[in-house]
Amino acid sequence: MQATNKLLDLLQQGDFKTIARCISMVENDLPGSEDLLLLLKHQTKTQIVGITGPPGAGKSTLVNALLFECIQQQKKVAVLSVDPSSPFNYGALLGDRIRMRDFYLHPDVYIRSLASRGSLGGLNAKMIEILHVLQASNFDYIFIETVGVGQSEVDIAGIADTTLVVMVPEAGDEVQTMKAGIMEIADIFVVNKSDRDQADVFAKNLAALAHSKATTWEIPVVKCIASSNEGVHELMKKINLHQQYIHTHQDKQFLLLAEKAYQLIQQKRMKDIDKKVLLSELKNKSQNENFNLFEWVKSSF
């Protein structure tokens, strides 16, 4: 426990090597990881921003532009880029670090690539634990860039305080067919590459759709060109405005906390279930002509 307390002290000081070590511990369930998590206090000062959208929308370029904006404001930022997993070792393919090379060695920016490891929601299975480690390090912002797998990326809405859905003008014809799934989770819509044809028309149609979904928060549509940092300052203003909103209307914060608790409970209860053992048992049980899958699950668990 003494070693864990020392680790926590270094973590709270923002030591990048310690942050990397602690993330690896919790991601891989290494000895001491549970003790560390039990010492972390709940804090809401760090703003968690999820960035999602279809492949090719320019999410990584947008994150890079947001980093420039944050550094100009003297903010401390962590970036979690959830990469597709290697089919050979389930490690991250590290593509996003190439795009963020300007900040790779910056003292106020911590960048970590995480493997999705087959997760269908576009996130890493240990994302909640990793976020709490980063929150303990007193970052001002944590940006999470998801894999970009389409409508199954809605898991980000249960993790982030503010969710950006990034789209490009070419998606204009698809807006009306994308009302479900990924289109339902946006706190802010971002039209990237807005120098392209039909960008104004697309943004107008998207704004009409956003207005139809609005409650007490009017979902903004921000046009930007991330590659040249155009519109990014305005986007940061909208992100901060949304943060003020959720602190005033705390229902979302409680919903996020309940969602995180639900996922952690689900993981804990499923921890002892081994698919290989299930396979072995079912090979034998299913040979019986009276076998019923639902009855077997009910009696076994």
Q: Which residues on neighbouring strands pair with residue 15, listed in sequence order?
A: none
Which pLDDT score, from 0 to 100, does residue 16 have?
95
Q: Which residues on neighbouring strands pair with residue 85, listed in sequence order?
A: 92
> 3-class DSSP state for residue 142?
strand
**Amino acid at the residue 157:** A
Which pLDDT score, from 0 to 100, does residue 206 have?
86
Q: Tell me if 49 sits within 8 A of 70, measured CB to CB.
A: no
Buried-state track 140-165, b at ≥16 Cβ within 10 A, e below 16? ebbbbbbbbbeeebbbbbbbbbbbbb
Question: What's the rounded Cα separation, in Å, for the pair 240 and 254?
Answer: 19
**Amino acid at the residue 89:** N
Which pLDDT score, from 0 to 100, does residue 176 have?
56
- Return the residue matching tokens 């998207």: 206
Which pLDDT score, from 0 to 100, does residue 88 have?
37
Torsions phi, psi for 164 (to 5 deg): -100, 130
Q: Tell me if 239 sits within 8 A of 49, measured CB to CB.
A: yes
Torsions phi, psi for 58 (to 5 deg): 90, 30
Going by C-beta distance under 8 Å and a sequence separation of 6 or more, which residues neighbour residue 70?
Answer: 77, 140, 141, 236
Which pLDDT score, from 0 to 100, does residue 212 have?
74
The sign of the torsion formed by the CA atoms of 7, 11, 16, 20 equals positive
Question: What's the rounded Cα separation, in Å, for the pair 185 and 161?
Answer: 11
Residue 91: closest CA among 74, 115, 72, 68 = 115
How many CB atoms are closer than 10 A to CB 246? 18
Q: Tell me if 136 sits within 8 A of 11, measured CB to CB.
A: yes
Fold of 43-265: Rossmann fold (3.40.50)
Question: What's the rounded Cα separation, in Å, for the pair 289 and 285?
Answer: 9
pLDDT in 10s for each residue of the chain, 301 residues: 778 899 999 999 999 999 999 999 999 989 999 999 999 988 778 999 999 888 888 998 999 999 999 999 999 999 998 876 443 334 444 454 555 667 878 999 999 988 765 554 557 788 999 999 999 999 999 999 987 655 445 678 888 999 999 999 886 555 655 555 566 788 999 999 999 988 998 899 888 878 776 678 899 999 999 999 999 999 999 999 999 998 888 787 888 888 888 888 888 888 888 888 898 889 888 888 888 988 888 888 8
Which pLDDT score, from 0 to 100, does residue 259 have?
85
Domain boundaries, the chain: 1-40, 43-265, 275-300
Which pLDDT score, from 0 to 100, does residue 147 have?
72
The whole model's pTM is what? 0.85
